[in-house]
Amino acid sequence: MENGEVHAILGPQWSSQAKFVIDLGVKAQVPIISFSVTSPSLSPTQSQYFVRTAYDDSSQVGALAAVVQAFGWREITLVYEDTDYGNGLVPYLVDAFQEVDARISYRSVIPPSPADIDIVKELNNLLLKQTRVFLVHMTAVIGSRFFVLASDARMMSEEFVWFVTDGLSSFLDPVSSKALDSMQGVLGVRPHVPSSESRRAFEERWTKLYAERNLHEEIADLNLFGLWAYDTVTALALAGEMAWEPAKFRYFNRNTSSNNLAFSSIGISEMGPKLLDKILSIKFPGLSGEFNLPNGKLQPIAFEIFNVVGKTEKIIGYWTKAQGLSPELNLSSKVNYTALAHDLKPPIWPGDTSKPPKGWVMPIAGQQLSSLENIYA
């Protein structure tokens, strides 16, 4: 903004970085467009120049609560990382579970950069609790390690329920095979991405590009954030073409007596407000679905409920705000489904069983993972 006089910024990647950059965007009237900042603590309604081309994390809590209600669980242990991303969803989950007569009975907080011993100690705490329904809200980096250690602790067996939010489930493809093997029987929710000819064509080009460069070992399935990224760049390019005025490709009201600490030398973008207006008005069929930004953020259509079985994620149902849970997705249907387990296809639970866990046990006094603690100490 100071040196290049940019008129739009894509990013930043993390919610913890975003607030600072968004404040600068408001000062310079430059749109800050992010396809990866999902924390509900940052809202386009609070910061005019912040545009979220991704789903707000809080949009999934209805689907999470519906699954909890369907299986009749009344108490849930929430396991989350102690970051802006992890903490931001907690109040929304509390409210959503209260609406279905369930509650978070214990909060297990994982440090932002945990050593293995930190995770093992929290697994110890979980074993001492009666509740056996664990909702895990983590990024893939920490979450994949967490499940490997939970598997080592024999906590991916019968009587355990593991449920993941879309922060981890949207990244399941890139996690290691060892991590995926440790997640057998896990349930999760993630945004539904409709299939389309444009998406299939793009994925073919993606694979061909890597093949031509002999990068076979690095080929990964395109996750949701990759699709959002592509749609975001497309939208910004279209908005730039509509807003382009060479005479206004500058900043004004610049303070030449620079004080970098206070960023007082940042002026105001002449193009920024018009560019923002064009971005917010754009609608087109993107790779991730319909690109449309009412209230400055992408709106979800539906969520998938999936079950990790073998090397795949088996879709066992869908959730929409209008219809609730349903075994198949039919957006044109007028049917409102009940929140019952038969509104989903039967999942395979941890321990390779089809019998739904009751969600609680009587913990054995003194039961701990002392051997694991010794290994990771």
Do 63 and 133 belong to one domain? yes
246, part of any domain? yes
Mean pLDDT of 116-145: 93
Mean pLDDT of 147-168: 93
Do 63 and 106 belong to one domain? yes
Give pLDDT, residue 220: 58
Of the ranges 41-55, 62-76, 273-287, 359-373, which one carries the lowest mean pLDDT score?
Answer: 359-373
Do 151 and 24 belong to one domain? no
Give pLDDT, residue 225: 87
Q: Would you say residue 374 has pLDDT above 70?
A: no
Do 182 and 309 belong to one domain? yes
Do 139 and 275 belong to one domain? no
Of the ranges 116-125, 166-175, 287-296, 320-329, which one carries the lowest mean pLDDT score?
Answer: 166-175
One-letter amino acid of 4: G
The last residue of a domain, from among 250, 275, 296: 296
Do 312 and 356 belong to one domain? yes
Q: Would you say residue 262 has pLDDT above 60?
A: no
Domain coverage including residue 74: 58-192+305-376
Q: Would you say residue 337 has pLDDT above 80?
A: no
Nearby residues of 335 by Cβ (< 8 Å), 6 or more positions away: 323, 326
Do 230 and 271 belong to one domain? yes
Do 63 and 173 belong to one domain? yes
218, part of any domain? no
Give pLDDT, residue 373: 62
| pLDDT tens column, 267-305 | 899 999 999 999 999 999 999 999 999 999 998 999 999
Do 156 and 66 belong to one domain? yes
Do 105 and 147 belong to one domain? yes
Do 70 and 123 belong to one domain? yes
The last residue of a domain, from among 249, 275, 296: 296
Please state the domain count of the chain.
2
pTM, entire model = 0.88
Which segments within the chain are labelled E, that is strand?
A: 9-10, 32-34, 50-52, 75-81, 103-110, 133-137, 161-164, 187-191, 251-252, 268-269, 284-286, 289-291, 303-309, 312-320, 324-326
Do 37 and 173 belong to one domain? no
355, part of any domain? yes
Of the ranges 71-85, 143-157, 204-218, 268-282, which one carries the lowest mean pLDDT score?
Answer: 204-218
Q: What is the CATH number of the domain that holds 38?
A: 3.40.50.2300
